[in-house]
Chain A
Amino acid sequence: MDLKEKLVSSFMAFEGQIDVDAPVHEIRSEAIKVFEQKGFPTKKEESWKYTSLNALLKNDYTVFPKEESALQFQDVKKYFLHEIDSYKIVFVDGIYSSYLSETSHEGLDVCLMSAALSKPKYRLIIDNYFNKIAPKDDGLTALNTAFSREGAFINIPKGKVVEKPIQILHFSTGKESALMLQPRNLVVVGENAHVQIIERHQSLTENPVLTNSVTEIHANRNSIVDYYKIQNDAQTASLIDNTYIAQKKHSHASVHTFSLGGNITRNNLNFYHLDERIDSTLKGITIIGDKQHVDHSTLVHHAQPNCESHQDYKGIYADKSTGVFNGKVLVDKIAQKTNAFQQNNNILIDDRAVINTKPQLEIFADDVKCSHGCTIGQLDEEALFYLQSRGIPSKEARALLMYGFANNVLASVKIDEVKKRIKKLIAMKLNVNIGFEL
């Protein structure tokens, strides 16, 4: 039985386990039909041309995580941004860990998707927002929808400026020989509200993990949402991240994706503009080696006038690693005065590394400012000699150049601790320990 068949047949059992009367019951049944029909994407699809899931789908995944595995905070502390006060929603092998979490219902909801889907008091929100922006015809998203039970539910009421960042962490312990996870997050940010979220997936063993995550974010009028994805997972962990963001008037939303590890990582990041004067920021730093693969597939749909989008992705590829940047900017005919910028710069530090970069601009309005640029290069030998001639050894000089290359992406990170953590991870990744402020 292949994975698709296994999932489809498991669905029945799953359905029985949960409340059949829940409002999402119908949504789930529709979704499994879509998945049954579409299945997993293959390289024949244009948007999956350079990323193959075949090898991943061969594992015999456990799809229903059982009871919570105990983890000691000390053992996983380093994966938290523990230096700052924050809310935490933590899952271990897909099961909520109340012990490691710090949720809240005081003036906001930082809690669990399972609670939101089952409790009557959230019914209205679920009706209004759940599965509203995620496309209905995407196989992977539909799969997640069908199995959606657990994840983070974040509901920030009107006017609330959330001081503490919210951390969403997923650990896998390797208790299962192979584990498939389907986390589902819903973030609703009210008018004039402000929230910062940090997400991380971390496998603690070498057992294969495949995470197919869906996050829907609704940024209402005048709201500010800053989302940071720290991807530095184990060599045997793969992630398909599907994030959908719908923005209303005057809202600002930013997503920074730091892809520094993992087996196969696919980031489907989609922004939809529902009104005018919206600002969207999509930034990323990718530094990988070995045979790692990172695919950034972005979409910004400018559907209204006077909006801006800023994309800046930097990639450094070593060894036999491969990268993909597929950045689509769609500007509708009515979206006049759109400012859309897209930049993708790459350094290949090994002849065997490969990057496929493909900007796609589809512009139907005539009064717009849209620009895109992509570069693929090597480290500048002249610059290297310059640094070495000042006493900086070759390895450190290379690291300094790479850091300098990626650095500007960090400028828009608003949480200092995130910045520090990323710099540290980059230094680790580049295998240097040097005096400059990494």
Chain B
Amino acid sequence: MLTIKNLHAGIEEKDILKGINLQVNPGEVHAIMGPNGSGKSTLSSVIAGKEEYEVTEGDIVFEGENINEFAPEERAHNGIFLSFQYPVEIPGVTVTNFIKTAINETRKARGLEEMPANEMLKLIREKSELLEIDRKFLSRSLNEGFSGGEKKRNEIFQMAMLEPKLAILDETDSGLDIDALRIVSNGVNKLRSKDNAVVVITHYQRLLEYIVPDFVHVLLDGKIVKSGGKELALELEEKGYDWLKQELSV
């Protein structure tokens, strides 16, 4: 589904990603862990097409197509979704208005008619119930004044509405209380199928108990330095990253 080959990216003179290789197949869950500042969010933004970052080398291939030059919305239309580590506040635009626009613009791009209003309402009701989101929330301005946890839950609500092929969840677990973590994970798991894939970026093993990964990768200074099964996450939780750094410098 997603193949990243020798990806180098950064801003102006600063290289942040220094040769990433990653293969994600349909049905898989990948976890990416790594210390602060190692490049996890940059990687997810680059996959989603943030123009601020310049790709200097390498390829991102999604469903057989090189998407290096695709605009963010085109990537979204192709089925890529990024749950932001820091969701942006959009004053004056309600959650409902926003999600309707996102869905209909995506449908338009795929050559489909707009979703009929009653179908949209039904879908919104269904997905907000799944994520236990109060209806009142939906008429508020997007993310404005939302608590940290509320923002994250709202991200997953949007994901559930858009049903992407590839979902990248950048620290969706941080800021969530224990119940919310369960609800959000449940929401993510509902979306999983043999055709979809999920990449979760996290600092904590706890999330991975709910969303069980097939692969765990460690990102260190812009490179994936180690990959393994879910037990790697446990090992990292126990030992931190220093042993890896030492191992590497040897």
Contact = CB atoms under 8 A, between A and B. Distances in A.
A378 interface: no
Contact of B71 (A381, A394, A401, A405): A394
**Contact residues on B (Cβ < 8 Å of other chain), bracket:** 35 or more
Nearest to A380: B88
B93 A391 contact: no
A404 B92 CA distance: 4
Given A386-B90, A392-B102, A396-B101, A404 B72 contact: no
A435 B88 contact: no
Contacts of B93: 400-401, 403-404, 407, 436
A387 B90 contact: yes
Interface string B74-104: 0111000110100111111100011011111
Contacts of B102: 387, 390-392
B11 interface: no
B125 interface: no
A391 B84 contact: no
B63 interface: no
Interface of A is mostly: helix
A248 B91 CA distance: 36
A193 interface: no
A407 B92 CA distance: 6
B128 interface: no
B72 A405 contact: no
Interface in B37-73: 45, 48-52, 71-73
Contact of A435 (B76, B104, B162): B104
Interface in A379-438: 380-383, 385-394, 396-397, 400-401, 403-408, 434-437
Contact of A389 (B52, B72, B103, B109): B72
B141 interface: yes
Nearest to B87: A386
Given A404-B93, A436-B93, A386 B84 contact: yes
B150 to A, nearest CB: 16
Nearest to B104: A435
B105 A392 contact: yes
Which of B73, B77, B82 gathers the greatest number of chain A CB atoms within 10 Å?
B73
B172 interface: no
Contacts, number: 97
Given A380-B88, A382-B88, A404-B92, A388 B101 contact: no
A92 B87 CA distance: 53
Contact of B82 (A387, A389, A394, A400): A389
A401 B90 CA distance: 7
B160 to A, nearest CB: 13
A391 B71 contact: no
A392 B97 contact: no
Nearest to B91: A404
B114 interface: yes
Given A388-B71, A391-B106, A435 B92 contact: no
B40 to A, nearest CB: 16
Contacts of B97: 436-437
B205 interface: no
Contacts of B104: 434-435
B87 A390 contact: no
B169 to A, nearest CB: 13
B196 interface: no
A172 to B, nearest CB: 35
B185 interface: no
A403 B92 CA distance: 7
Contact of B72 (A385, A407, A434): A385
A394 B76 CA distance: 12
A390 B162 contact: yes
Given A389-B72, A389-B73, A392-B73, 17 more contacts: A381-B52, A383-B88, A385-B48, A385-B51, A389-B50, A390-B76, A391-B73, A391-B102, A391-B106, A391-B109, A393-B71, A400-B93, A404-B91, A404-B92, A434-B101, A436-B97, A437-B97
Interface of A: 380-383, 385-394, 396-397, 400-401, 403-408, 434-437
9 closest Cβ contacts across the A-B interface? A404-B92, A407-B92, A388-B72, A391-B76, A391-B106, A435-B104, A404-B93, A390-B102, A386-B88
28 contacts: A381-B52, A382-B88, A383-B89, A385-B51, A385-B72, A386-B84, A386-B87, A386-B88, A387-B98, A388-B76, A389-B50, A389-B82, A390-B98, A390-B158, A391-B105, A392-B101, A393-B109, A396-B101, A396-B105, A397-B73, A400-B98, A403-B92, A404-B141, A406-B92, A408-B91, A434-B104, A435-B101, A436-B100
